[in-house]
Structure 1
Amino acid sequence: MSHPPGLDLGQLRSHLDRERPGLVGGPLSGRLIEGGRSNLTYEISDGTSKWVVRRPPLGHVLATAHDMKREHRVIAGLHPTAVPVPEPLLLCEDEKVLGAPFYVMEFVEGTPYRTAAELAPLGAERTRAAVLGLVDTLVDLHAVDPAEVGLGDFGRPEGFLDRQLRRWGKQLDASRNRELAGIDALQSALGRSLPASPAPTIVHGDYRLDNVLIRQDETDGVDRIQAILDWEMSTLGDPLTDLGLLVMYSARLELPDSPISTTASAAGHPAPAELVERYAARSGRDVSAVSWYTAFAWFKLAVILEGIHYRYTLGQTVGAGFDRIGELVPVFIEHGLTTLKDPKNSQNSQNSQNSSEG
C-alpha cells in the first residue's frame, strides 16, 4: 500500500471502521490534491466511493493557523443552508491516528478554475455566468445568520478591520529584509481611513474562483458552484473584506508568465465594477467604501507575497515560480495606492476591454 506523505491509509482505514462502520467498502488508496496553499488535501477511495481528507501541513507549528476543528465546524454549520459546502463526515482530534488532527468530508465533483487558459474552453458566455455565480454565492454566504447555524461565537467582529490591518502589518514586519517603496504609506493610508463595518457575517477570508468547484449541469447546461473550499481563514467579521478580495482578483495584472494565478483576462470575465454592482443589488449593502476593502486586499496579498519571497531568499521554499514572486510585490503595492487615490478609475478601467471580449 502506497501512502501519500502525511496520510497513513492503514491507520485511517482502522479509524474510519471504528467511527463510521460500513462507510468504506474496500482497500483504501489516496493521493495528495495539488494546489492548496497551506493545509493538505487528499482524495481517498475504496474503489467505489471517494472522500476528501484535510490535515495541517507536515511539521506545522502553529496549531491556531491550521485548526481542523474550526474548518470542520464552519462547513458543518453551513451544510444545511443554501451555501454549497461538502458534507462533513468525521472530525478526528486524536493526533495518534495521522500525526495531526484531521477531518473527512464528501468528495464533490467540479473544477477549480485557476487561470484564464483553463477558463478559455468554456467560452465567454459560460465564463461570465460562472463568475457572476461566484458573486451570487458570496451573497448567499453573507446572508446566513451565524447564530442560527451555531456560529454565533465563531469570531470577534468588534474592531475587525483594525485588527486585520495590524495583523498583516506584523506579518510584514516579520519578513522585512529589503526596502519596499510605498508599503508603509499604503498601510498608513488604510489606517487613517478605516470604514465603518456593516453588520458582521460569516467571512470566508480567501474567496476567489479557484477556491470553489464549478460543474456544468447536464440538463440545462448552466455552470454552477458545487462547493466552496478552503475555509481555513474563515471567521465572523466584515463581509466587504470578501468582496474587496474578489474585486482584487478580478483586476488585470498584465504580467506575462506571472506565478500568481489570475482569471481576469479570460474572455467574458466581468469587470470589477460589475461584480460590485451585482453584490450591492443582491445583498442590499452599502458598497461605497469598496475601494478601501480592495486596497486592503492588495496590501494583504503584497504582505503574503513578500513573506514567500523572504522565505525564498532564505532557501526555505522550493518549486517553480518562487524566484519571480519578489518582483510582484511592488506591483501589488502600487495597485493598492492607486485604488485608494482613484477608486473609480481602478474599478472601471477594464469595463470597455472586458465587455468587448465578452
Structure 2
Amino acid sequence: MTTWTFDEPTREALCAFLEARGIAPGAMVIAPIGDGHSNLTFRIDIEGRAVVLRRPPPPPLPPGSNDVLREAGFLAAVGGAGLPVPEVLATGETGAVFDVPFYVMGMIDGVVLTETRKAPLDEAAAAPAMAEALVAAMAQLHAIDWTRTTLAAKARPEAFNLRHFRIFRRMVDDGAGGVLPPYARIAAWLEANVPEPSGATIIHNDLRLGNVMWAPQAPARIAAILDWELATVGDPLLDLAYLVCSAPREGATHTPVQDLSAALIAPGTPEPAALVARYFALSGRAPADIAWYQVMVLFKLATLYRYSRLAGHDPYFVEEHEDRFLAEAAFYCRD
C-alpha cells in the first residue's frame, strides 16, 4: 500500500474546500479505502454525511496515468447516460488543497469483493451471477453514444490499437531503440499483428471484480462501477479482453489481477470463452478473435507493474508479478 497521510494543515484546507462548495461543513473523520495500489481513495465522514475523495499517490507516476480530473469527467459522462457510478460532487486543481489534483464523489452503500465472497454474496451461486453482471455492465457501457457526451471534444479513437501499443512499448524501451529482453518477443508479436480497431466506444480499461461495488443485499446487482482512471474512447475488444484476462480459472496458475478476482471461482461460473460469447450476444457486435487484445492487456499490465515497482512507493509490486503477466501473454501469442 502507498503510504500517505493527511497532516493538520491539509485537513484544514480540505475542510474549507468542502464547506465552500456546500458539500459538508464540520469536523471530519478520514479513513483510507482499499489497498491504495493506484490512486488513493478516502472516505470522509462529516456530521452524518459520507463522501469519497480520490487523489493520485505521490509522484513519480507512469506517463499519462493517475489523471483524476479526467477520471471525474468520465464518471460524469457515463453517469449521465445511466451507468451506475458515483456522483461527482466537486473537483480540485493542483494547489486547491494538495500538491496534486483531486475530486470528491458521493458515497454509495455496498460491498467490494476480491479474493473471497462475503455477505450478502457469500453463497457459491453468487459468483456466476456476478460474472454475468460484469459482462452485462460492459455491454451497457459500450452502448453509450460517446459522441453525444462531453468526451467527444477530446476523444481520439483513430488508430487506437497501434497508439495504445506504442505507449506501453516505450515504457520498456532498452535505451537503444529496442525493447528490454523479457518484453521483446511479446512486443514484436504485438507490433506485427496490430488489428484495425473493431469500433470506438467508451472503455473502462480496468473493469474487473475489485473495481465494482455490489448492492448490499442479494441477488448480485452492481451498485457502482469504480476506478475510471484508465478510461478512454477506444476499441471495445480491449475492454473485453481485460475482463476476460482478470477472470480466474479454477486449478490454473493466476496472474495478480486474477488473484484479485478469486471470489469468482465457484461451480457454474462461466469460463472465459463463455464470457466472450455472452458479451457478443448482449452487445450485438460480431464475434471476433480477441487473442491480440489479451496479449496487449497482459503486456500493458506487466509494464505498469514494472513502472510501479521501480518507483518504489509500494511493496506490493514485485518482479514476480511482471513475470506472471508475461508468461500468460506468451500463451496467447499465435504465429
Band of TM-score, shorter chain? 0.7 to 0.9
1:238 aligns with 2:225: no
Bigger shift: residues 64-73 or 119-128: 119-128
Equivalent position of 2:6 in the other structure: 5
Q: 1:52 to 1:196 in 2, by over 3 A?
A: same
CA shift for structure 1 position 172: 1.8
- Alpha carbons 2:244, 2:272 under 8 Å: kept: yes
Output one character per residue of 1:104-127: Cα deviation in whole Å (capped at 9) or x when no partner.
Answer: 110112222221466996222111
Partners of 2:213 and 2:326 lie apart in 1 by 30
CA shift for structure 1 position 184: 1.7
Identity %: 30
1:73 partner amino acid: G
Letter in 2 for 1:87: E
Indicate how the Cα distance of structure 1 residues 225 and 117 shifts in structure 2: closer, same or farther if over 3 A, else same.
Answer: closer
Report the AA paired with residue 159 of structure 1.
A
1:178-214 Cα offsets, whole Å, 9 max, x none, are 742xx32222112222222122111111111101111
1:332 corresponds to which residue? 325
Larger helix share, 1 or 2: 1
1:247 matches 2:247: no
Task: Please name the residue that 1:46 is paired with.
Answer: 46
- 1:6 and 1:288 map into 2 onto residues whose CA distance is 52
- Deviation string 1:11-69 (CA, Å, 9 cap, x unpaired) is 1121222222xx31531111122323222111001131100011122345678533232
Shift of 1:102: 1.5
| Equivalent residue number for residue 288 of structure 1 | 288
- TM-score, normalisation: structure 1: 0.81
> Do 2:171 and 2:303's aligned partners in 1 also have CA atoms closer than 8 Å?
yes
| C-alpha distance in 1 between matches for 2:286 and 2:224 | 27
Report matched runs for 1:136-147 at 5 Å: 136-147=136-147
Gaps of 5+ in 1: 343-358
| Structure 2 equivalent of residue 352 of structure 1 | none
TM-score normalised according to structure 2 size: 0.86
Question: Residue 6 of structure 1 contacts residue 98 of structure 1 at CA under 8 Å; is this kept in 2?
Answer: no
Match for residue 226 of structure 1 among 223, 240, 244: 223
- d(CA) in 2 for partners of 1:197, 1:262: 28
Give the letter for the 1:77 counterpart: A
Matches within 5 A, 1:196-345: 196-217=196-217, 221-252=218-249, 254-255=252-253, 260-263=259-262, 266-268=265-267, 269-311=269-311, 316-319=312-315, 321-322=316-317, 325-341=318-334
Higher relative contact order (CA 8 A, sep 6+): 2
Q: Counterparts of 1:289 and 1:194 in 2: how far apart (Å)?
A: 13
| CA RMSD, 1 decimal | 2.9
1:159 aligns with 2:159: yes
Structure 2 residue aligned with 1:107: 107
The answer (yes or no) to whether the contact 2:117–2:123 under 8 Å persists in 1 is no
SS of aligned partner of 2:152: coil
Residue 270 and residue 57 in structure 1: after superposition, are their counterparts in 2 closer, same or farther (change >3 A)? same
Counterpart amino acid of residue 196 in structure 1: E
Q: Following the alignment from structure 1 to structure 2, what is the Cα–Cα distance between the partners of residues 286 and 172?
A: 34
Q: 1:109 to 1:211 in 2, by over 3 A?
A: same
Is the Cα contact below 8 Å between 1:119 and 1:127 reproduced in 2?
no
* Structure 1 residue 290: Cα displacement: 1.1
Question: Partners of 1:336 and 1:94 in 2: how far apart?
Answer: 38
More moved, 81-90 vs 110-119: 110-119
> Is the 8 Å Cα contact of residues 117 and 266 (structure 1) preserved in structure 2?
no
Alignment-mate amino acid for residue 19 of structure 2:
D
Q: Give the Cα–Cα distance (whole angstroms) in 2 for the partners of residues 119 and 295 of structure 1.
A: 35
Q: Which residue of 2 aligns with 1:345?
A: none
1: CA distance between counterparts of 2:167 and 2:277?
A: 30
Q: Residues 186 and 258 (structure 1 numbering): CA distance in 2 closer, same or farther, change over 3 Å?
A: closer
Cα gap change, 1:267/1:338 in structure 2, threshold over 3 Å: closer, same or farther? Answer: same
